[in-house]
């Protein structure tokens, strides 16, 4: 059989030679998760047949010399294979964290631990199980249906917090095929970006977040021309070559075979908020190597040199070099150079895709992107510059002019994006860093006439400016208030990073907590310490509560700024007093949905509340009741509930006053529903009683609450998705549960039966 040769390196694809020996990449252990009949074994077999990476499949149904064995045998077999440098599929159901825990422990730091979740409809799994014959575990025929049903009742989807570095959720056959393509395309040296991908809004007919290598796939019509570097001559196609990447450096495609109905916008936010959204990330193009014609070999060496210098200075943040095609020469050279330096692939990797659509098309959340700008900082011209200005809208041009009028080669300027910018609301980009490199093109200004001594000096300065700018943003987002000095940035610019929350006149597209959390989680947990003062013992369960020392990213500061300076937001504020501000939630989850904001400095969330704040809670409750009663006079059919989220993602203590019809186009996801209809939502009356009796509120911030099955808030019946739940609650006439009626609901006198 002919061996396929990589164009760039003249070697078999998926391997690289160093000093006459072939290097192997980091082993991957993929823990399959799914009910019988979901297709786990088929998935493993297909990947093993197509992939050039050495895989073994560990299946409990056959581990005992072709017969069923034990979990201990599976663990031993997997450990031996990983020790030999092979990648492993764990082919068991693994439907709860206890079943997965011991396998995850095998990973340690030397192995990437992934989960592929085949979360397919129960009917499909049952149908397959019943119909199949010759199954390895003999689970077939009539008894299969009962087994599948029983197992799915206790299903617990995996989370990154269990120890996984990557999770892919497959909820239909299209998802499964995308995941198959991803793993089948992995060569011995390839790795994949970390995070959780593919948990979708059940209403949306869109696949987001599955990293996939393409074979002659058309770029969607709405794809921009973005990113610098080498671009295919046939720009309407993704390269058919899979670039295997090199040791220690990730190389992935950003284009995730997504399917949209006609006229439908991509749904941003299907990536799990516990995943890579929490990691500050800078996506940057190769500077000067496209239109400015800088030598690729020299440029790649400087990129790696500067990445190596800065990668340890930015904490858990990440640097991502982006280009449009797998055939990009600069990406290939950078990966080769980076592999020799053993740079941590979780902190620096390459990514193939449009820099203006990294999240909506590829599931890669980058809160900062770099623009290879021109010296006048003007839109247009082509390439990255034109694409970023176009994607960001006119607000970027206006914000850029506020920061600088021009830019000298080797320098950068940080520009915060307004919340109204499409790049902010669609992609989660909070800042653009304009940076100007050296020019070797005689057709462009300031040509250096092939003076590479000066050119390399300027290019080093350009990357230094860029990475220092990113470091300043990371630092600004890691502290809730104050400024700091940066050698290349004025103190006022650093303050701008902190205070980039929308002002009067903005649409405040980030006001609702979970609508924004799903895009790019704005709050970052710093290293926390539990002390008697900051983390008192919970008197009900004896557990130490978490410290309230929490840092808030710039977008999460919006409510804080409104509370502190309501006079600047008069258009959106309904009521102002010394203690509170009242405003409509921009993304209401019911016909009526208000926020009552505390104006007290230092009360960021419910965790900060102590007994001394009891009167404030009573004031907030009374004002919430007043507004609910006002609405009831306008519409007596409404029913209201007043309460707090246990773990809000927007800074500043605020009380929700929300009608219980939940008739809203903005209620789209399971988290939306469960954030108001589980113990995650703390009734105002309960909170006041707890603070009065125990000096604090008892928080219910367990992520399990937000991922619970969907249940009607009245009759408690279960429903498979939001559309069916909405259809049910529009007709349900069951009384509300007694505990809610007692504490949280406000009803008009003629509405005693709670029939909307």
pLDDT at 626 over 60: yes
**How do residues 688-717 score in pLDDT, each as one tens digit?**
999 999 999 988 766 788 888 999 999 999
User: Domain residues for 220?
Assistant: 216-252+269-500
Q: Of 138, 173, 188, at which residue does a domain stop?
A: 188
pLDDT at 22 over 70: no
Task: Based on the fold, state whether residues 309 and 368 are members of the same structural domain.
Answer: yes
| Mean pLDDT score of the chain | 75
Q: How much is the pLDDT for 744? A: 58
564 and 508 in contact (C-beta within 8 Å)?
no
Rounded average pLDDT over 122-147: 68
Q: Band of the pLDDT at 274, cuts 50, 70, 90?
A: very low
654 is annotated as an active-site residue: yes
Indicate if 657 and 718 belong to the same structural domain: yes
Q: Which of 76, 38, 82 is nearest to 60 (CA)?
A: 76
In a domain, 431, yes or no: yes
Question: 293 versus 744: which is more confidently predicted?
Answer: 293
Per-residue pLDDT of 418-458, as tens digits, reads 878 889 888 889 999 999 999 999 988 889 999 999 999 99
What is the pLDDT at residue 553?
Answer: 63
Q: How confident is the model at residue 209 (pLDDT cuts 50, 70, 90)?
A: very low
Q: Would residue 731 count as lying in a domain? A: yes
For the cut 70, the answer to whether the pLDDT of residue 517 exceeds it is no
Specify if 259 maps to a domain.
Answer: no
Distance CA 714, CA 711 (A): 9
CA 731, 736, 741 angle in degrees (round to 5)?
145
Per-residue pLDDT, 543: 35
What pLDDT does 625 receive? 93
The CATH number of whichever domain residue 677 belongs to comes to: 3.30.428.10
156: exposed, middle or buried (C-beta count within 10 Å: 0-12, 13-18, 19+)? middle
Say how far apart CA 278 and CA 272 lie, in whole Å.
10
Whether 756 and 635 have beta carbons less than 8 Å apart is answered as: no
Q: What is the dihedral of CA 222, 223, 225, 226, to 10 degrees?
A: 130
- Whether 429 and 576 share a structural domain: no
Higher per-residue pLDDT: 202 or 465: 465
Q: Does residue 105 lie in a domain region?
A: yes
Q: Is the pLDDT of residue 389 over 80?
A: yes
Question: Measuring CA to CA, which residue among 642, 646, 640, 639 is closest to residue 674?
Answer: 646
Question: Is 264 contained in some domain?
Answer: no
Residues 168 and 222 in one domain: no
Position 302 pLDDT exceeds 70: yes
Q: Do 477 and 625 belong to one domain?
A: no
Is 641 a residue whose pLDDT tops 90? Answer: yes
Same domain, 480 and 618: no
Judged by average pLDDT, the poorest of 311-320, 417-426, 724-733, 742-751 is: 742-751
Asked if 128 and 42 sit in the same domain, the reply is yes
Q: Please check the confidence at residue 519 and state whether its pLDDT lies above 60.
A: no
- Whole-number pLDDT of residue 124: 85
Binned at pLDDT 50, 70 and 90, residue 591 comes out as very high
235 has a pLDDT exceeding 70: no
The domain spanning residue 143 has which CATH number?
3.40.50.300
How many domains, in total, are found in the chain? 3
Q: Name the domain boundary from 450, 476, 500.
A: 500
Residue 554 pLDDT class (50, 70, 90 cuts):
low
Assigned domain for 11 exists: no
Q: Full-prediction pTM beyond 0.75?
A: no
pLDDT tens digits along 27-64 = 999 999 998 888 999 999 999 988 888 999 999 888 88
Write down the catalytic residue from 114, 431, 593, 654: 654
Q: 555 in a domain, yes or no?
A: no
- Residue 598 scores a pLDDT above 90: yes
Please tell me whether residues 140 and 235 are part of one structural domain. Answer: no
**Do 463 and 369 sit in the same domain of this protein?**
yes
What single-letter DSSP state applies at residue 363? -
Angle at 82 between CA 78 and CA 84, to 5 degrees: 120
Q: Is the pLDDT of residue 343 over 80?
A: yes
């Amino acid at each position: 059989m002919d061996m396929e040769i990589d164009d760039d390196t003249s070697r078999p694809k998926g391997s690289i030679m160093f000093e006459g020996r072939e290097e192997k990449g980091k082993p991957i252990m993929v823990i399959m998760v799914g009910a019988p009949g979901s297709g786990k074994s088929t998935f493993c077999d297909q990947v093993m047949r197509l992939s050039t990476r050495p895989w073994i499949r560990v299946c409990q149904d056959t581990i005992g010399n072709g017969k069923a064995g034990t979990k201990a045998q599976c663990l031993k077999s997997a450990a031996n294979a990983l020790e030999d440098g092979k990648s492993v599929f764990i082919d068991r159901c693994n439907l709860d964290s206890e079943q997965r825990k011991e396998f995850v422990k095998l990973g340690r730091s030397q192995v990437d631990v992934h989960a592929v979740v085949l979360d397919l409809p129960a009917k499909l799994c049952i149908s397959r199980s019943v119909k199949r014959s010759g199954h390895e575990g003999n689970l077939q025929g009539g008894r299969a249906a009962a087994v599948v049903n029983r197992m799915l009742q206790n299903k617990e989807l995996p989370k990154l917090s269990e120890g996984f570095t990557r999770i892919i959720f497959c909820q239909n056959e299209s998802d499964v095929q995308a995941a198959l393509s991803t793993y089948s395309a992995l060569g011995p040296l390839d790795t994949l970006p970390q995070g959780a991908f593919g948990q979708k809004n059940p209403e949306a007919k869109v696949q987001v977040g599955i990293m996939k290598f393409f074979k002659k796939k058309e770029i969607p019509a709405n794809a921009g021309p973005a990113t610098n570097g080498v671009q295919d001559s046939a720009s309407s196609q993704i390269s058919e070559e899979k670039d295997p990447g090199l040791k220690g450096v990730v190389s992935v495609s950003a284009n995730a075979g997504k399917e949209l109905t006609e006229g439908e916008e991509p749904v941003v936010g299907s990536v799990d908020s516990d995943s890579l959204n929490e990691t500050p990330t800078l996506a940057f193009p190769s500077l000067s190597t496209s239109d400015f014609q800088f030598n690729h070999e020299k440029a790649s060496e400087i990129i790696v040199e500067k990445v190596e210098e800065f990668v340890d200075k930015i904490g858990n943040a990440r640097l991502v070099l982006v280009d449009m095609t797998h055939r990009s020469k600069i990406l290939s050279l950078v990966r080769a150079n980076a592999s020799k330096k053993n740079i941590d692939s979780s902190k620096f990797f390459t990514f193939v895709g449009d820099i203006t659509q990294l999240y909506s098309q590829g599931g890669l959340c980058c809160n900062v992107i770099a623009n290879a700008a021109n010296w006048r900082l003007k839109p247009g011209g082509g390439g990255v510059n034109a694409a970023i200005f176009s994607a960001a809208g006119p607000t970027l041009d206006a914000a850029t002019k506020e920061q600088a009028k021009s830019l000298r080669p080797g320098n950068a300027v940080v520009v915060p994006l307004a919340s109204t910018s499409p790049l902010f609301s669609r992609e989660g980009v909070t800042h653009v860093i304009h940076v100007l490199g050296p020019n070797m093109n005689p057709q462009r200004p300031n040509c250096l006439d092939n003076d590479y001594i000066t050119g390399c000096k300027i290019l080093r300065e350009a990357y230094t400016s860029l990475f220092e700018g990113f470091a300043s943003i990371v630092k600004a987002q890691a502290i809730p208030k104050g400024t700091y000095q940066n050698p290349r940035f004025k103190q006022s610019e650093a303050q701008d990073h902190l205070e980039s929350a929308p002002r009067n006149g903005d649409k405040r597209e980030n006001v609702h907590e979970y609508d924004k959390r799903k895009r790019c989680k704005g709050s970052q947990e710093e290293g926390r310490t539990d002390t008697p003062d900051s983390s008192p013992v919970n008197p009900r369960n004896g557990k130490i509560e978490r410290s309230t020392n929490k840092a808030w990213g710039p977008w999460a500061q919006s409510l804080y700024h409104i509370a502190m300076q309501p006079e600047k937001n008069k258009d959106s504020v309904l009521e102002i007093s010394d203690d509170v501000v009242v405003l409509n939630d921009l993304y209401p989850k019911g016909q009526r949905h208000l926020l009552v904001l505390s104006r007290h400095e230092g009360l960021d969330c419910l965790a900060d509340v102590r007994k001394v704040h009891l009167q404030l809670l009573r004031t907030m409750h009374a004002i919430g009741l007043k507004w609910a009663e006002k609405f009831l006079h306008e519409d007596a059919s409404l029913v209201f509930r007043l309460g707090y989220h246990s773990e809000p993602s927007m800074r500043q203590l605020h009380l929700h006053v929300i009608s219980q019809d939940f008739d809203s186009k903005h209620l789209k996801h399971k988290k939306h529903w469960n954030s108001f209809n589980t113990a995650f939502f703390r009734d105002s009356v309960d909170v006041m009683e707890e603070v009065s009796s125990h000096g604090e509120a008892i928080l219910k911030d367990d992520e399990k609450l937000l991922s619970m099955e969907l249940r009607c808030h009245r009759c408690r019946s279960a429903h498979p998705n939001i559309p069916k739940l909405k259809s049910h609650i529009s007709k349900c006439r069951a009384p509300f549960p007694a505990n809610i009626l007692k504490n949280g609901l406000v009803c008009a006198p003629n509405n005693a039966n709670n029939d909307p």
